[in-house]
Structure 1
Amino acid sequence: MGGVSETHAGWTFLTSHARVLAAIAEDRRIRIRDIAARCRLTQRAVQKIISDLEEDGYLTRTREGRTNAYRIEPGTILRHPAEAGMTVEALLSTLARHDDQRDGRSPRSRTVRPRERDSESAR
């Protein structure tokens, strides 16, 4: 399974779509092969997921030279009725706070927009 280092049996909390979206939120110019390695998916699976996310309006892809750049649409509502109006921005903000707590950083006091993560990590 090209690029997939280990498998996981059983269920997980996040879907592959959520993992791919979170990877893109971290780096809007991330390569498909890097998303695949990070999310432990095949490159073909990542391409399909990105197509799904584009088709449903969660992100847009533009060509910048030889690479793709992604823009997450933060106001897009999550699909499942159980999320009851939760936006992509709220989901990514929750995940970012979790990452901060796990890594020992002080939690963010504001909502993190997907593109802000790039500039914050450069500081």
Structure 2
Amino acid sequence: MKKSIVWALALCLVFALSACGKKEEAAAPAPAPSNGAATGAGSAASADLKLVASNFKFDQAEYKVKKGQDIKVSLENKEGMHGVEIKGLNVKLDGNTKSATFKAEKEGTYDIICTIPCGSGHINMKSKLIVES
């Protein structure tokens, strides 16, 4: 009896840790500037924001965009399976939704979190979006 419980727990642990296993994307989003900032000339009306996720981290601690811009945010999973939520802006990306568009109407700092449990470092997988004037 104890042996089967141990095997069941071990199997559950393997499944939980494999949630961050590698998965190749069929088509990667278009490259963005290396600093993750929104692109455009002067006070452009729209910008692209690319979030690159690997195991337990995003490629940047913070991303900056300009207030008033329409932002197209995309998610690239470099390593593991991840989803993204930008708290306070109603932006959610998961395994099926790779990009979304929103308007950065209010200045401030917004939390970016991983929404797909990806292993032991999942709880610390955070970044910031800063909307500045």
- The answer, yes or no, to whether TM exceeds 0.5 is no
Q: Could you say which structure has the higher strand fraction?
A: 2
TM range (shorter): under 0.3
Q: Could you say which structure has the higher helix fraction?
A: 1
Q: How does the TM-score come out when normalised to structure 2? A: 0.25
Q: Highest CA radius of gyration, 1 or 2? A: 2
Question: Bigger relative contact order, structure 1 or 2, given CA contacts below 8 A and separation 6+?
Answer: 2
